[in-house]
Structures are given as structure tokens and as C-alpha cells.
Chain A
Amino acid sequence: MFPGIPTCVEVSQEVTDYLEGDLPAWRRALTRMHLLGCSACRELVRQFTLVKGAVAGVPPAADDALAQDTRQDLLAHFAGGAPDEPDP
């Protein structure tokens, strides 16, 4: 191992700082050097980028879970035995 260049474990610990741009410039440069020579760490960084994008891409339709919940509540309420009422 070269002195100063982060190990794979260190890269994994700092991957979020790296992607958020929060590493000091020298540390960022050393991390990039590590990544040049380590495909597994490159894949880890790539996966973190995909995760961030995936969370961003979960569509607002996820909030339709609310509509689902409301629907479930209503179904449960009506299934609970309120007698059928004739249509007005």
C-alpha cells in the first residue's frame, strides 16, 4: 500500500463525503488515485450514486400510499358491519 492513499475500507467510510464534495482537496485527490486502480471501490462509489438517484427518483406517486391508506381505512370501516343502505 502506498502511504497516504486511502485503503478500501477508508474509501468506503468516506464515500458519502467524497460524493457530497466534503473531502478536503488533498483527500479527494488521493481517493481518486485509489479509485483509478480499484474497480471494486469504483463500483461501490457508483452504487452509492445510484442509491442517491434512486431515492430522488421514487416518484411522488409514492404518496399515493396515503390514498391507499385512506382507502383501506374506509374499506375496514364499511366492512365492519354497517348495514347496506339503499341508494338515495
Chain B
Amino acid sequence: MLRVARGLTGTTASGEELVQETWMAVIKGLDGFQGRSSLKGWVYSILKNKARTTARRDARVTPFSALGPEEADRPVASERYTAGGSWAQPIGTWEVDSPESLLLAQEGQAVVQRALEALPERQRIVVVMRDGEGLSAHEVAAVLELSEANVRVLLHRGRSRVRRALAEHLLGER
């Protein structure tokens, strides 16, 4: 949750504060929790609402507007494909056979962490919630008040950027 809170607020200190406020609200509100959503999803909606309140107060609201993909958002650099949509320059093979060995190989973990920190805010929030915290896409959409389609786009772009950061690190591939 701390990572999500930091993702939402942008700083470590604000993230910690947000987590504390959230837990207090959770404790107060637990009696009234009716179990219609998952507990995790409910906690995250409190987190998100508090972040939104703070952000409004600090005039740091980021609109979740959908934009077209930048080149960096693409899973693979455009020039690797022919005009017809086939591979001109196929991507290289990663010589790892599991996420664990990926993280261990050549400081893979540091690369992933840096890549996450470098993501545009909305992509980072979605990737951390979905892949880091294991929320379902439906829960992420509910918490962030986005459509599932929008969540999927942000997830795709965020994962694409992390993949390319790893490809560059592992293979020097751009």
C-alpha cells in the first residue's frame, strides 16, 4: 500500500502520511464495511479518496485524460516493423526463464524499480496496483474511477516502458 500511496502522492513523506490517514479511516469504518467489494478494494478506495482530497487541496490534481500513445509508450520501437506490420528487426531473446532470475540478473531489480519510478504518474499507479499489489483490473478501475478499457491502456503502456527499459539494460536494445 505504501508503494501505491507514494505513487499517488509522488513523495515518500506524503505517501507515509496518506497510509496513516487511510488506516485510521479503515479502523473507524470497519464496522460499517458491508463486504460488497473486497476488503482490499475498499481500503484502496479510501486511500484514493484521501489522496484526491489532499491533491485537490494542494491543487495538484492530475486529470486522467486519455492521450494517444507516444513513441515511448509503444511495446516495441516502431522502426522494428515493416510497413506491412511484420518484423524488420526482431527483438532479442532475454536469457532468463523466470521473473525471479530476471530480477537477479544484472541488477534487474534496480532496473525495474527505476523504470517504475520513471513512468508517467497514471501508468505507474496502474502498474503498481495491478502487477505490484495484485488488484484485479476491475478493482483498479473502481478505485481510480476509470473505465477498464482506460486501465488496460495505461497498464499496456506502463508494462511496455518497463519492458523496453529491461531490453535496453539486458541487450542494449532500443
Residues of A within 8 A of B (CB): 1, 7-10, 12-13, 15-17, 20, 22, 38, 40-41, 43-44, 46-48, 50-58, 62-63, 65-66, 69
Contact = CB atoms under 8 A, between A and B. Distances in A.
Chain A interface main SS type: helix
Given A43-B93, A58-B113, A15 B87 contact: no
A44 B160 CA distance: 10
Interface residues of B, number: 41
Nearest to B111: A54
A8 B131 contact: no
Contacts, number: 109
Contact of A47 (B86, B132, B163): B163
Listed from nearest, the 6 A-B pairs whose CB atoms lie closest are A53-B99, A7-B85, A40-B90, A16-B156, A55-B131, A9-B85
A38 B127 CA distance: 27
B100 A57 contact: yes
B155 interface: yes
A56 B100 CA distance: 10
B146 to A, nearest CB: 15
